[in-house]
Amino acid sequence: MEYEEIIQIKRSVPFLSDLTVEELQDLMRIARIRIWRDGQAFFREGEAADGMYIVLKGDAKVEKRLQQGDQLVLSKLKAGDVAGEMGLIEHEPRSATVRATGACTTMFLESSAFDDLRRRHHPGAMKILKRLCGILAARARRLEQILSDFFERPERSLDFMEKRYLRFVGHPGMDEGGPA
Amino acid sequence: MMKDVRQILASLEAFRDLDERERDLLSTVLSARSVLQGEDLYKQGERAPSFFVVAEGQFVKLKEFRAHLVETMGKVGPGDLVGLLSMFDRSERLHTVKAVEDALALECTRDSFDRLFESQSRFSYKILDKFTETLSRSVRDANTLITDLFSDPKRTLLMLQQARVTARHHLTEF
């Protein structure tokens, strides 16, 4: 990758802005650039995690499959955002699907290659881990907020859930069996 | 009499992978705090950029909603980390952490952590690994809770009806 492109990534991706140009060059040697079409999934919920994606150009959305088959959009991603970051540090199944909305370019960091940098105590890997902690903290706080909102306004949530329940059961009797 | 922080760290399974020198370093930024049964280590809504290592005893994490409903969000015990979110983003505490028995916790402020972090790279890696593990678990737990809420509408409806009744009666027991 050209020097100018490295500089451009450093400027446009906050996640990598703490890295020096040399550290970023090392990182780019193990990264893979991929171009996606509208609707293509970077990864799907339930798949084994093998790394993380950084959106370089375009947009994407994070979806969660619900039991009844429909999708809940958890968040939208834009250039500079990261997706599947937990896949960099653990190999649990993906907790959501991330899908391109329009043409999208990503950088993929494979966990095994990143582990190699960690083992060598590469300063860039440490900066990434520190940044990752900040992202995980923000995400945990946002999810807690969703939970709080849900229970802090029980009337509104009741209304929402009753409509949702009726969509799948088809009658208002709350004591006549569970969801389909 | 308060125990030596180095001895406490040496006794915790979660810090066994640190060598003696690293435990000495960590002990310089931790301060011990005794918490009696029923007392709060910290309260929801407080702003304090620090985290705690539970050294002895058990704590319960409580979440108070505006509707005067208090939910138990889990227990933490020796070796567990609490308060990491506020340490990272310097914003308010998400939970109240209350001692269910006489307990001891070790506190580290953000500024102390930053100083320590910048000086010791190998050691910092080990601590960061513990942080990422704890934070990942928090995100996964919250994700699971949200999925459960939306995946079983009938059960969730019952919980909400209960929350509405509780809010009307302004109950604060947990």
B58-81 residue pLDDT tens? 999 988 776 566 777 789 999 999
In whole angstroms, how far apart are CA A27 and each of A2, A10, A86? 13, 11, 18
- For the complex shown, is ipTM > 0.90? no
pLDDT tier for residue B120 given thresholds of 50, 70 and 90? low
pLDDT of residue A23: 93
Across A26-45, b (16+ Cβ under 10 Å) vs e yields bbbeebeeeebeeeeebbeb
Mean pLDDT calculated for residue range A84-98 = 86
What is the distance between the terminal CA atoms of chain B, rounded to a whole angstrom?
33
| Whether pLDDT at A171 is above 50 | no
| Whether pLDDT at B52 is above 80 | yes
Rounded distance between C-alpha atoms, residue B15 and residue B159, angstroms? 39
Mean of pLDDT over chain B = 81
pLDDT tier for residue B156 given thresholds of 50, 70 and 90? confident
**Parallel, antiparallel, or unpaired: how do β-strands B31-35 and B40-42 relate?**
unpaired
**By 3-state DSSP, what share of chain A in percent is helix, strand and coil, each rounded to 5?**
45, 25, 25
Mean pLDDT calculated for residue range B138-163 = 74
Looking at residue A53, what DSSP letter applies?
A: E
Mean pLDDT lowest among A16-20, A46-50, B128-132: B128-132
A177: buried, middle or exposed (CB in 10 Å: 19+, 13-18, 0-12)?
Answer: exposed
Q: Does B70 touch chain A (CB under 8 A)?
A: no
Mean pLDDT lowest among A82-91, A141-150, B30-39, B64-73: B64-73
Chain B residues near residue A179 by CB distance under 8 angstroms:
152-154
Angle CA(B72)–CA(B75)–CA(B79) in degrees, nearest 5? 155
> B interface mutation test: which of A75, A131, A132, A143 has the most B CBs within 10 A?
A143
| Whether pLDDT at A93 is above 80 | yes
Select the more confidently predicted residue: A34 or B163: A34
pLDDT of residue B173: 36
Mean pLDDT calculated for residue range A64-77 = 80
Of B129, B149, B163, the CB nearest to A154: B163
Of B65, B136, B146, the CB nearest to A143: B146
| Whether pLDDT at B22 is above 90 | no
Q: Which helix (H) or strand (E) holds A60?
A: strand A51-65
Q: Are A32 and A43 in contact (CB under 8 A)?
A: no
Nearest to B150 by CA among A141, A156, A72, A148: A72
Mean of pLDDT over chain A = 83
Please indicate whether, in this complex, the C-beta atoms of B153 and A86 are within 8 angstroms of each other: no
Handedness of CA A34, A37, A38, A42 (dihedral sign): negative
Select the more confidently predicted residue: A168 or B106: B106
Mean pLDDT calculated for residue range B25-44 = 93
Q: Which pair of structure tokens corresponds to residue B52?
A: 């705690």
Chain B residues near residue A168 by CB distance under 8 angstroms:
153
| Whether pLDDT at B166 is above 50 | yes
What percentage of residues in chain B have a pLDDT greater than 70?
Answer: 84
Q: pLDDT tens digit string along A11-27?
A: 888 889 889 999 999 99
Please indicate whether, in this complex, the C-beta atoms of A174 and B117 are within 8 angstroms of each other: no
| Whether pLDDT at A56 is above 80 | yes
Kindly report the nearest CA distance between residue B154 and chain A, in angstroms.
6
Chain A residues near residue B156 by CB distance under 8 angstroms:
161
Chain A residues near residue B117 by CB distance under 8 angstroms:
130
Mean pLDDT calculated for residue range B151-169 = 66
What's the Rg (C-alpha) of chain B? Answer: 18
Mean pLDDT calculated for residue range A131-155 = 80
Give B62-130 as a 3 state SS string.
EEECCCCCEEEEEEECCCCEECHHHHHHCCECCCEEEECCCEEEEEEEHHHHHHHHHHCHHHHHHHHHH
Q: Which pair of structure tokens corresponds to residue B89?
A: 């983003």
pLDDT of residue A155: 73
